Amino acid sequence: MAGANARITHGIAGATITAGQWVYLDSTTGKYGLADTDSATAGVRSAIGVALNSASANQPLAVQSDGLVTIGGAILAGVAYYLSGTPGAMCPIADVAAGDYPLVLGMGVSTTVLDISIVYPAVVLA
């Protein structure tokens, strides 16, 4: 659920996406797909936000790219969360592996709320 300060865009899903999954915008199709930190494709590693609703391919999708969002799972306050090697998922730094391209998604501000602030240094973790 988006907070009052949320930045939300709307588009079309290019695959089946579940609310709460992290997405990228495919520059070729103009549709959203699942972001993945260890993808061989730079665009797929560049998450731009979290899906606010579930959608099948070619259905409307709302994506939050900034601000507070209530996450469907438990997180920790004060912990930075990163894009995961599991497509669409996020993880703490301990789960970012060698060969991944670390992308900070945001910081936990409570056990259920993440403050989205995406930072992508575009470097591979050795």
Query: What CATH number is associated with residue 27?
Result: 2.40.300
- Considering its fold, how many domains does the chain have in total? 1
> What is the mean predicted confidence (pLDDT) over 21-50?
95
In whole angstroms, give the CA distance from residue 25 to residue 115. Answer: 21
In this prediction, residues 7-19 reach a mean pLDDT of: 96
Q: pLDDT for 52-83, tens place per residue?
A: 999 999 999 999 999 999 987 789 999 999 99
Whether 2 is in a domain gets the answer no
Q: Is residue 124 part of a domain?
A: no
The pTM of this model reads: 0.93
Owning domain of residue 31: 7-119
Query: Does residue 125 fall inside a structural domain?
Result: no
Answer yes or no: is 1 within a domain: no
